[in-house]
Structure 1
Amino acid sequence: MTPGNNGASTPEDDDPFGYLYADGQANGAQPPSGGYGYPNSVSRVRAVGERQYGQPQYGGQSTVPQQQQPYGQPQGAYGQPNPHYAAPESLPGGAPVRQQPAPAGGGGGRGGGPNTKGLLIGAVAVVAAVVVGIAVAMSQGDTGDESKGGDQPTASASASPSPTPSESSTSEATEVELPTIDAKALRLGGTANIASDVPGAQSEGGVYVGNLNQVGNSVTWTVNGIPEEGAYTLFSRFSTVGEDQEMTLTVNGKPFGSKINYGNFTHTSDGDFSKGWTQTYTWPTLAKGTNTITVSCEQGDKCNVLLDQFWLKKGQVKG
C-alpha cells in the first residue's frame, strides 16, 4: 500500500481543530457545527446545553429546535421548569403518560387527602346510635321489672343509714372507763370489818364488809380519773333482811342530799342474808379528777347491811 492521504473518513484521523490548519481546510474541515470539524465525523459534539434529555436523534441532529440560552442569563428559579429539560412523555414517541386514579370518595382537603370532616360526622352518628340503643334497652328493662310486680327491689333504692349509737350504749362505753371497787379494797372506819361467812358476795374471794350497824362505822372509796364535773350514778351491791335500811353518803367531806336507800328489795324475812343480795343507787355530783366517797352509819340511820361492791356510771341512770 502506498502511503498517502486517505481523507478524514477514519476516526483516528479526526482532528477537532483541523479547520485551523491549511491541510485540514484543504480536506474540507469546517468550524464545529455538529462534529469535530471534518465531514461525516464519527463523534457528534454538541454545544453545552444544546442536547435535550430523552429526544431522539436522527442523523446527528435533534428533531426539536433548540433555543440557546445566552451566557450569563439565569437558568430559571428553583422549582421552575428548566427550558433545557423536557420530560420524555412530552416528546413525540416518548413514554406514555400514566393517569393516577382519583381517591375514592373524593378529596376532602388540599392535596386530595382523606375527608376528615366526613369521618368525624360518621363517628358522631355511630356514637349517637349507640346511645339511643342503650336508652331504649334501659327503658325496656325498666318496663320488664315493673311487670314482675312491686316486690322486686330496685337498683335506685338507697341503703338505710346505719343506726346511731343510743344514749344507753354511749353510757355503757363510758362505764368501762369509770372505776369499780371490791369490798376488800375499801378503807374501813370504826369497827367495820371484812368477812366471808355469808355466801353470795361477788367481790374477789366472796368477801364483804360487815359490822356496820354501829354509829361511826364506815367505808371510804377514793375515786381517781373522773373525766369531768357533773352528775354520776353510784351503785352499791348489798344484802339486808327484815325492814329497810338507810345510811349517810358523804362526798368530798360534805353530806350529800338524802341518805342511801338500802331497802329489803328481795323481801327476805327469815334472817338469811345469803338470800338478800341486791343493788341500789344514788346520784351524787362529782368533781373532775379525784373524789372521796364515804358511806357511814350516823345518828338516826339504820345500818344492818352487808356491803359487797361499788361502781360508777356517768349521768343519772337506773341500771
Structure 2
Amino acid sequence: MTPGDNGASTPEEDDPFGYLYADGQARGAQPPSGGYGYPNAVSRVRAVGERQYPQQQTYGQQVPQQQGTYGQPTAQYQAPEAQQSSVPTGSRMQQNAGRQNAGRRGPNTKGLLIGAIAVVAVVVIGISVAMFNGDSNDEANGATSPSPTQSKSAAPRPKTTASAPAGELPKADAADSSVQLAGGAAPASDVKGAEAAGGTYVGGLNQAGASATWSVSVPEEGAYTFFIRYSAPGEDQSMTVNVNGKDFGSKADLQNYRHAAANDFENGWATTYVYPDLKKGANTISVSCQAGDKCNVLLDQFWVKKGHVTR
C-alpha cells in the first residue's frame, strides 16, 4: 500500500485539536464552542503562531499601541507586578543594591588601626620590661654581660675615717678599712676567739716597723680613752702608741691577764687602754712595734670613749 489522502474524516474521527494546524483548518476543523463546555467561558483559541506578544519595553522608550483582536490581550496589558515600576528588572536590582549599600557602613578602619597600634605598643612595653628585669636579675645573681667589658686597673682601697652614729663613739675591727697596716702587719683568722667580723684579726706585728694605724673622728676635743682588744700569751707585751703623729707618753701595756701558755693565743684574749687627748674631727692613733717593744701579740678591735674610763 502507498500512503495517500483518504479524504475528509468525520467529526468523530477528526483530531479534536486539528483546528490548531493548517491542514486541519483546510479540512474545515473548527474549535469547540462554549469554552470547552464551561458556561460563560470566553474562548481564546488561536491557531499556532497566530498569537502576538507585546514587545519588551525598554527604559525611556514608548511601545506603540497594538490593535488587539478578539480574545487577544492588547500591548497595554501588563501584570500587576509589572505596573509597579517601569524600570527594568536589572535597573531595579542595581538601585536596590545601591540603596542597601548606601544604608550600610563600611568597616571602621580608623578604629582597627588604633587598636592595632595599641596592641603593638603593649607588646613592645612588655618586651622592654622583660629585658630590663632580666638584666637586673642577672646583675643581682652576679651574671656577667655577654658584651665585652673594659678592664679596670685595681686602685688602692681608700682609707676611711671611722665614725659612729649620733650619741656613740667609733669602734672598728683591727682589720677594718679604716685601719692602715704596714711593716708586715696583715689580717689573719686561723686563731679562734677574735670578736671582729669573720673572726679576722691582725698578726705579723712581732717585727720592728710593723704597725696598725686607725683613722677615727670624734665630735669634740677633749680627753678620751683608747681601748685595744688583743691576745698576748706567755710573757707580757708592750707596744708604742702614736696620736696624731706624736708618741704617747707611755706604752700600751699588753699583759697576759689570762695567764695563757706561750703561743696559746686562743686563750690569751684581753683588753687594755690608754688616755690620749683627741681633737675635734679626724684623728690618727697608731699601735706599732718600735725598738725596745715586745710585740708578740694579735690585735682584734679598737674603740674610744669620752673621758678617762676603765671599761
TM-score with structure 2 setting the length? 0.46
TM-score with structure 1 setting the length? 0.44
